[in-house]
Structure 1
Amino acid sequence: MKLKSIQNIKTCASGARRDGFTLIEAVLSVFIISILVVAILGMFSFALRLVMENKLLVQAIALGEEKLEIIKNLSYDNVGTVSGIPSGVFPQNEIDNVNGTDYSINYYIVYVDDPADGISPTDFSGTDYKKVRMQISWTGPMGNQTQTFVTSISPKRNHNVAGTGTLSIVVFNASGQAVPQASVRVQASFATSTVDINTQTNSLGRVVIPGAPAGTNKYSIVTTKTNYSTDRTCSIDVAGAACTDAVGNPVPTKANASVIEGDFNEIGFAIDIVSQLNIRTIRQSVAADWVINTDATAYDQDNPSMAICPDGSYIFTWRDKRQNDNPRIYAQKYDANRIKQWNPDLALTTANNQNNPDVAVDKDCYIYVVWNDDRNGNQDIYFSKINSSGNQEWGEGKKVDTQAESADQTIPQIIINASSTFEYIIWQDSRNDVNDIYAQKFTPAGNGVWASEKRINTDATTATQGMPKIQIDTMIIEGNENLYFAWYDNRNSNNDIFSQKYNQDGNNVWANDTRINTDATTTEQMNPDFVISNDNYLYYTWQDARFGNYDIFSQKYDTNSAKIWANDVRINSDIGESSQDVPAIIEDNSNNFYIVWEDNRYGNSDIFMQKIDSDGNKLIEFDTRINQTNSNEQGNPDIFINKNGFLTVTWQDNNGGNLDIKAAVYNIDPQIITNIGNVPLSIHGIKKIGENPVIYKYSNNFSTNANGTLTLSGLEWDDYPIVASTYNILTSDPPLPIILNADQTINVILNLE
């Protein structure tokens, strides 16, 4: 019996499940009903808000029509705004409450010139009728709303307002282009009225205010725009020293504007997007430079080349025009302490029209100089041997090329092997009607070794090759040295950098000339230089136009012509529109590499430097300018590491009005940079707000933070001198004053002592 009852209960339970809802079904039903209820309530709420918004709009329209009716029933002279032009009874802004809602009302009332008033071509009064623009704003259920009403009010007869003129305000940017929607505030105070107008320029950057009361230096005008600078007039204030709403100065650069009765009075204002200076104060080694040539004439010296003897002596050679502007090759020697050794500078020959000198020294400091000149009617290559006392052993020099008498040979380069048993000379040669690269091997007596001069480039087409460079193995077995050559080459229609390897017998080792730059473009690569490292890798550098303007690039190869770096490395950090040209490269004693070049980033060409490691990583945080003076032109750098392992650079320098040869030595690695914190700086622009005394528009004192940095934002375009009160500024990059353009950010490095 008990078992049967249990079974009956189970049967009843089972039947209940078949006739009702499961729990999941019930929950789902409730969820769907909830969604429907929420949707209906949302629609109802939206309908209520829409009804309310329409009600508020109807109220706004009724309010606007009421205000317009009041305006139309006023006398013409009373239609205007308080402190406005024209002046009148309406406030420029007011608030009316209608049925619990606040409506903000802005009145903008101006005079308008009627072009059909019969006054042609120019109506300086411009007060023919008035235009009223009324803007009513409110906040309702749907957010902020605005309704605008416009009407014109005409006088009963021709209406010229006595004692007024037209004030025209023009706002333009740093390029002289109009600035539309610039904010303009005009204020003036008269015996019986005031003017206080806030408006904006039109699409032509202009605000025209007819009917402005006449007065001299009455109108204070301020113009600006979001993220723009501010330009304004100043009041004449004999006791003031500023230019604000409250304080002026004795002789303002731009005094408050005047309005002459019946005249058209125009005043201009210049504003533009503000800029930023990021200033950093550091200490970095500065190269001690000196002038190499010792003549006192006004003639030019240029195209320098440099070598350093084993005893640390510096040897320089250059082109010199001191002989009545006739270019000749000169040389000078300085000891390791930079004391001149020859007096006067040594003239290598009396032949005219000499150029492109290059110099090398052997282990005993015998000096070999090569150049080209036209003493025989065409350009030929000559070289001279000079002992350490400055005596020439071959008189006027020996002619290098002997097999192309009527063709031109130019731009020679020379290198001497480690044992000083041979010299190798390379040049560009036009004997085949286009320039090719040729070379010859010489004994210390100046006698040719190879039976014939060797054409280095294996390309035999009509392409042009030029600007050759030469290097020799650093890891050699005596009598088994290899030579490496680089040049620019247009065999692919555009100029690329090519290279080739030869053995000491004048036979090419690489089957084909190797293209060094790896870009896939048709842009120009020029002016190669390269060095062979102590571990026998080739580091090339050149100027490269793949990004439009010339930049300095580099690449690493092994001695089997295999590229090492995945991509060519751009050396200069400047990525603007300026050009970087004529690089030179040298290895230091730590398997790092200095590259110098001619750089136009600051307008005049300067000499810049960067240091990279064997993987092509830059080791100096920023490109470093070597020449300390920035005026005029510096160019054609050459580079060496001196006996003490310090970087030495020479270049041509026009700082004194004519070109001289300068050199500089770094006695401390320029890679070492120390931040100097808490440096007091005085910074001002050159734009003025006062003339007597001079008051600068921007003039402030700051200090860098503990890390030596200072950020100045919101600056107007201007030139900014900077003075460090407790330090001397050795160099500044960019040079001082900082020329800051509109909408520009400049990083400024101040090197202090």
Structure 2
Amino acid sequence: MPKHVLLAISILTVLLSMYSGAQTRNITNEVVRVDADSLRDSWHAVLADDDAARVYCAWSQREAHRAVIRVALLSPGKEHTIRHITIPQPGNCEDVRPALACLGSGVLLVAWQRGCAGSRRIVSLLLDSLLQPLGEVTTVAGKMNPVMPSAGSNHRGEALLAWQDFRNGNFDVYARRYDREGTPMNRDLRVNNDDGAALQGPPRVARDNRDDFIVLWPDNREDGKWKFYAQRIEDDLVGTNMLVDSAQRKAMTTLASAVRLTQDSAVFAWKDYREDHSNIYRRRADVRIGECSLAERINDDSTARWQRLVVIDSDGRGNAVSCWEDYRNTEINQRGDIYLQPFARDGSFLGVNQKVNTRNDRIARKMPGITMLSDGSFLVIWHQGEVGAFNLYGQWYRYPAVRIGGNFCLTCNE
């Protein structure tokens, strides 16, 4: 068997064990908590908004003998959920890695990774604006263990769903486009234009897409080292894959983030090792011609402490905010904080990095998410671990970084 196939299979085995190896325990009173060593089961919460009155949050919740997807509806600036549901499943399956996109018809597209009876696939469900199911759960991709879905919408209310796919014998990135009603618009597209034995890592769909979409992913095609590539997608691929940054990554699973600022420009952000430890860097890009500005560091901490898992969003008019895990206040890069940085329309920094969590105790704060509405209000969420369990916390802001209320727990008292 060729070496690249053996490498791909070994990586797939490791990744899939990460996605499905959590321990289980009983949940009482439907309090959404995850055992500390269940983090490898990918309890990543995601956010989406309709740019007006509704914000949606989805996450994977451990129950006895299975994991389920939960979806909550929030009102902008409010600390309580209006409604939340658990998406039904056929049995003791592992439903993890949710992805969300708001469609122009008021419909919410929910997609996730489902593992049942030894097989894995990407599935999806349409919900109305109050989280009532519209139809049944459908399979998006079911061959060769597809994983790691990501979704986003454009200004016309269409959506794009992207994922890692093993159908060609090694990891590629595939995508499917949906119309305003949630109906697939085209065949599955292979996003990466590399035909060799290179591997493509987990994709992320940009926020605030215009007519077309941008997908961003790690890629080792050039010299076996991980770099970031991006691709514009409309009815088909627009142009060729664009090299975003070539500084060496540590692994396939290093995720990046992107937001569209105008029809012609975008910002890419990622965890970067050019200073021999992890920082958060960004580039502004002219997506028409595929050129990027010089890379610049976002975090203003100059020590060797880590920063990682950056996400970024905007108000649709060029005002943007990024947030990330930050360990500047720790001794051993564990049990850190969540920080943010706002940017003006011209890309300049507004003030300094700000800590989101108000408590200073050394507990785990992981996997931030962000969504920003057209009026400038935005929500930052993160997973916070205490007493061996993780809950989902949030903080509302008004752009550029004015707090609305305080830190609150989304999942402590459901």
What range describes the TM-score normalised by the shorter chain of this pair?
0.7 to 0.9
Q: Which residue of 2 aligns with 1:569?
A: 354
- Equivalent residue for 1:471, pick from 238, 251, 259: 259
Q: Which residue of 1 aligns with 2:152?
A: 360
Q: Which residue of 2 aligns with 1:545?
A: 327
The question of whether the paired residues in 1 share the 8 Å contact of 2:113 and 2:121 is answered with yes
Cα 1:458/1:559, change in 2 over 3 Å: farther
Any runs of at least 4 consecutive aligned residues in structure 1 with deviations exceeding 6 A, and if so which? 462-465
- The whole-number CA distance in structure 2 between the counterparts of 1:341 and 1:462 is 41
Matches within 5 A, 1:683-694: none
Q: Which residue of 2 aligns with 1:516?
A: 298
Cα 1:418/1:392, change in 2 over 3 Å: closer
- The whole-number CA distance in structure 1 between the counterparts of 2:283 and 2:224 is 22
Q: Which residue of 1 aligns with 2:54?
A: none
Cα 1:321/1:375, change in 2 over 3 Å: same
- The whole-number CA distance in structure 2 between the counterparts of 1:367 and 1:350 is 20
% identity of equivalent residues: 16
Cα 1:539/1:386, change in 2 over 3 Å: closer
Q: Deviations over 1:249-286 (max 9, x none)?
A: xxxxxxxxxxxxxxxxxxxxxxxxxxxxxxxxxxx852
- The whole-number CA distance in structure 2 between the counterparts of 1:360 and 1:462 is 25
Q: Which residue of 2 aligns with 1:278?
A: none
2:224 matched to 1:433? yes
Q: Which residue of 2 aligns with 1:601?
A: 386
> What's the offset of the Cα at 1:462?
7.1
Q: Which residue of 2 aligns with 1:265?
A: none
The question of whether the paired residues in 2 share the 8 Å contact of 1:292 and 1:332 is answered with no
- Equivalent residue for 1:490, pick from 248, 260, 273: 273
> What's the offset of the Cα at 1:328?
1.1
- The whole-number CA distance in structure 1 between the counterparts of 2:243 and 2:277 is 21
* Residue aligned with 1:619, SS: strand
- Equivalent residue for 1:339, pick from 129, 132, 145: 132
* Residue aligned with 1:530, SS: strand
- The whole-number CA distance in structure 2 between the counterparts of 1:559 and 1:509 is 17
Q: Which runs of 5+ in 2 are unaligned?
A: 1-77
- The whole-number CA distance in structure 1 between the counterparts of 2:367 and 2:207 is 23
Q: Which residue of 1 aligns with 2:342?
A: 556
Give, as a single letter, the amino acid of the residue that structure 2 aligns with 1:612: Y
- The whole-number CA distance in structure 2 between the counterparts of 1:585 and 1:538 is 11
Matches within 5 A, 1:215-364: 286-322=80-116, 324-343=117-136, 345-362=137-154
User: What is the TM-score normalised by the length of structure 1?
Assistant: 0.42
* Residue aligned with 1:381, SS: strand
Cα 1:419/1:490, change in 2 over 3 Å: closer
Q: Deviations over 1:599-649 (max 9, x none)?
A: 11343111100122334333213x1100145xxxxxxxxxxxxxxxxxxxx
* Residue aligned with 2:100, SS: strand
> What's the offset of the Cα at 1:563?
2.1
- The whole-number CA distance in structure 2 between the counterparts of 1:311 and 1:570 is 37
The question of whether the paired residues in 1 share the 8 Å contact of 2:371 and 2:378 is answered with yes
Cα 1:570/1:625, change in 2 over 3 Å: same
Q: Which residue of 2 aligns with 1:271?
A: none
- The whole-number CA distance in structure 2 between the counterparts of 1:607 and 1:377 is 37
Q: Which residue of 1 aligns with 2:242?
A: 454
Cα 1:418/1:379, change in 2 over 3 Å: closer
Q: Deviations over 1:157-197 (max 9, x none)?
A: xxxxxxxxxxxxxxxxxxxxxxxxxxxxxxxxxxxxxxxxx
**Higher Cα Rg: structure 1 or 2?**
1
Q: Which residue of 2 aligns with 1:528?
A: 310
> What's the offset of the Cα at 1:575?
1.7
Name the count of aligned residue pairs. 331
The question of whether the paired residues in 1 share the 8 Å contact of 2:166 and 2:172 is answered with yes
Cα 1:341/1:619, change in 2 over 3 Å: same
- The whole-number CA distance in structure 2 between the counterparts of 1:418 and 1:530 is 13
Q: Which residue of 2 aligns with 1:63?
A: none
* Residue aligned with 1:563, SS: coil
- The whole-number CA distance in structure 2 between the counterparts of 1:297 and 1:569 is 44
Give, as a single letter, the amino acid of the residue that structure 1 aligns with 2:340: S
RMSD: 2.4
Cα 1:332/1:376, change in 2 over 3 Å: same
> What's the offset of the Cα at 1:348?
0.5
Give, as a single letter, the amino acid of the residue that structure 1 aligns with 2:265: N
Q: Which runs of 5+ in 1 are unaligned?
A: 1-283, 630-730, 732-753
- The whole-number CA distance in structure 1 between the counterparts of 2:182 and 2:102 is 15
> What's the offset of the Cα at 1:588?
3.2
Cα 1:418/1:398, change in 2 over 3 Å: closer
The question of whether the paired residues in 2 share the 8 Å contact of 1:359 and 1:414 is answered with yes
User: What is the TM-score normalised by the length of structure 2?
Assistant: 0.73
- The whole-number CA distance in structure 2 between the counterparts of 1:462 and 1:359 is 23
- The whole-number CA distance in structure 1 between the counterparts of 2:408 and 2:208 is 33
